[in-house]
Chains A and B, each alone.
Chain A
């Protein structure tokens, strides 16, 4: 198999999982990934427009066969309402990062320039540090993190990817239909 095909097969997939908002449901999903040997690259969980439904956005690594198994195994969990795979769909993916970076007086202007170029924001400032908030794709976050690392990053936190299909298609609508 050529490298390009390998690369294509070993890609990352973003899936959205709508689940009943019950205690323990995150453990069920996480446990499924662990025991079946699937890799979670990123995981974000939140409420939705409906309080009884939670939404998980999971980035998984693996080929299409692994992705198919993950989807099917997730669907077997009694509390999983719906699994949506965004590999084949046009979708918006976003991640947020908070970066605490050293800001010595001589560097401040430069850092602020980077912040501006990346449309990030400085949301906290001390005599030695900035906290920078930045939103965007994983790639964008990686880039700004790379640039800022030269000044010394003291702390970094990222939310993990959340995703939504472009256009009028909705995952939660489908979940709602299933629930009704």
Chain B
């Protein structure tokens, strides 16, 4: 049968098991949209901005592990995808972005709505294709999906000129769609490949010899589906597990061996543990600067085992003692056979002692804080909801306080740190998980970057709950200006924002506002009962709150004292002359602890 390029595209997507396309039409994709008109098995989601489409495909992929698909027209449509593609690239998320292109004869002539999108996305895609002949389309798509989902996953872009999607060729999907892809120059490690036994034996040996080991688990464990293996390894060896922002859920965060996230805004105990460890077992993690701070001072006493599917990550930042390249799940499975059981040791006790000394705690003074919102939201759905976040202070609070029970429950832009990611990503996840409630934790800054996608949620009847922790400022930037720029608050004031309650109502959803923890309880119950449209909860929180897990429960530290103390802490940080390091953080920590102790003593007297 003769099919057009557009029809072939849909046939290929069907072969790949695609159920949802997030897209927006335009001139160069008219033939594709004409084919979509007749297509009833693949659902096309009409977004309100192409960036939203890319983030939705991303949220879809993160919450399922499947390849997310987005579609946009040439020129501005394609460039609007760029931030979404870069977000997926930085976090190794499988995605296929399909863009229209001007007709082949017009390419390079500065035609209307022409943009060299393969050129533009070269550094932010795993690979990309400009398909110049309809005969090459099926192959390009098959390779695109193969590349996106294998090895270290990532986004792949397929650029299809107008005439390529219009042209007709004889096409039989069964015969003409390649079922087995073999790209001679692309041979990633996979779950079924050989594992490097010698290296794994060396790793087991190091684990046996270590006195102060820590497991440092990243997004690679999520991509590989290795939650069971991470859990088994931790339990067999009694090694405590810290995760990166993207590794959250690799071990149930309510598990006694979980010590939460590490890094810049990680728990103090995880950071102490890593810093004083003698063996760091990095599992699908890449020693990002937000994790290590000053690399020269990072875990200086530790030997390093680095497990990663991407050979280029080995030695990029830290030279490991035992590098192991391959699929995390396959390697951990082998490693589990070789490690001997270890009892919990003094080292475990030491970390627990740090946990007691520097707990994650926030004031209980009747005021509403972001931490309340996160804990209440999580509890509302028995900790089984999917949590998407935006980027900023709220994201870090969520990373600290949202306890993931499993992987793919936590959706956040880590590497690129894309404000505006949360709402569309939550919508994408909601399409993929109709049986789960999806919540989006956002800030008043981030939320205003993708607000228009509320309309998409309304149109498709998705009960996404967006909870805005509203501090009327760009909190994270404000915090840095407070600590490192002498409180010169430059362009962070967001007092002038829309009324979020009215805004969501204008989009056909429901809005609530909460000023106190009690009010929040009340509106959360109401929000839970709404199951056919988006809900926005505007939570008013104090502007001056910083991300630090320092203030003991029940103690309302005099604000002046904290501020004065912060000054001293800042001075010590400045004296160090570093942007951020563990020593700087420790200085801040110890100042807080001293201040709190002083306040307690004062109270007791």
Residues of chain A touching chain B, judged by Cβ–Cβ distance below 8 Å, are 19-20, 24, 27-28, 31-32, 35, 65, 68-69, 72-73, 75-81, 178-180
Contact = CB atoms under 8 A, between A and B. Distances in A.
B118 A24 contact: yes
A20 B185 contact: yes
A72 B185 contact: no
A73 B122 contact: no
Interface in B172-189: 183-187
Contacts of A68: 315
B315 A35 contact: no
Contacts of A19: 185
Contact of B184 (A69, A75, A179): A179
Nearest to B118: A24
Nearest to B147: A78
Interface string B307-326: 00011101110010000000
A178 B187 CA distance: 10
A64 B310 CA distance: 19
Contacts of B122: 27-28, 31
Contacts of A35: 123
A72 B311 contact: yes
A81 B184 contact: yes
Contact of B312 (A65, A69, A78): A69
A80 B337 CA distance: 36
Interface residues of B, number: 20
Interface in B136-188: 147, 183-187
Nearest to B156: A78
B185 A79 contact: yes
Q: Which of B126, B186, B315 has the most CB of A within 10 A?
A: B186
Contact of A78 (B119, B123, B186, B316): B186
A29 B118 CA distance: 14
Nearest to B183: A78
B515 interface: no
Contacts of B372: none
B355 interface: no
A178 B184 contact: yes
B127 interface: yes
B99 to A, nearest CB: 15
Contact of A75 (B127, B312, B316, B319): B312
Given A35-B123, A78-B147, A178 B312 contact: no
B326 to A, nearest CB: 15
Contacts of B184: 81, 178-180
A78 B315 contact: no
B127 A78 contact: yes
A38 B22 CA distance: 37
6 contacts: A24-B130, A69-B316, A77-B127, A81-B185, A178-B187, A180-B184
B316 A76 contact: no
Q: Which of B122, B130, B187, B312 has the most CB of A within 10 A?
A: B312
Interface of B: 118-119, 122-123, 126-127, 130, 147, 183-187, 310-312, 314-316, 319
A76 B147 contact: no
Given A20-B185, A180-B184, 10 more contacts: A19-B185, A27-B122, A31-B122, A35-B123, A72-B312, A76-B310, A78-B185, A78-B186, A79-B127, A81-B185
B437 to A, nearest CB: 38
Contacts of B123: 31-32, 35
Contacts of A32: 123
Nearest to B124: A35
A133 to B, nearest CB: 35
Nearest to A74: B312
A65 B314 CA distance: 11
Contact of A27 (B119, B314, B315, B316): B119
Contacts of A180: 184
A20 B183 CA distance: 10
Contacts of B185: 19-20, 77-81, 178-179
Nearest to A178: B184
A72 B309 CA distance: 12
B323 to A, nearest CB: 11
Nearest to A72: B312
Contacts of B310: 76
A73 B186 contact: no
Contacts of A75: 311-312
B80 to A, nearest CB: 22
A24 B314 CA distance: 28
B155 to A, nearest CB: 13
A75 B185 CA distance: 8
Nearest to B184: A179
Nearest to A80: B185
A78 B311 contact: no
B460 to A, nearest CB: 35
7 tightest A-B CB contacts, nearest first: A72-B312, A179-B184, A78-B127, A81-B185, A78-B186, A35-B123, A72-B311
Q: Which of A35, A75, A76, A77 has the most CB of B within 10 A?
A: A76
Contact of A73 (B119, B187, B312): B312
A11 B219 CA distance: 36
A82 to B, nearest CB: 8
Contact of B126 (A73, A78, A179): A78
Contacts of A65: 315, 319
A32 B127 CA distance: 12
A89 B310 CA distance: 26
A97 B330 CA distance: 53
A33 to B, nearest CB: 11
A24 B310 CA distance: 24
B312 A76 contact: yes
Nearest to A79: B185
A178 B185 CA distance: 7
Contacts of B127: 77-79
Contacts of B314: 72
A57 B348 CA distance: 53
Contacts of A24: 118-119, 130
A65 B312 CA distance: 11
Q: Which of B122, B185, B314 has the most CB of A within 10 A?
A: B185
A75 B310 CA distance: 10
B8 to A, nearest CB: 21
Contacts of B186: 78
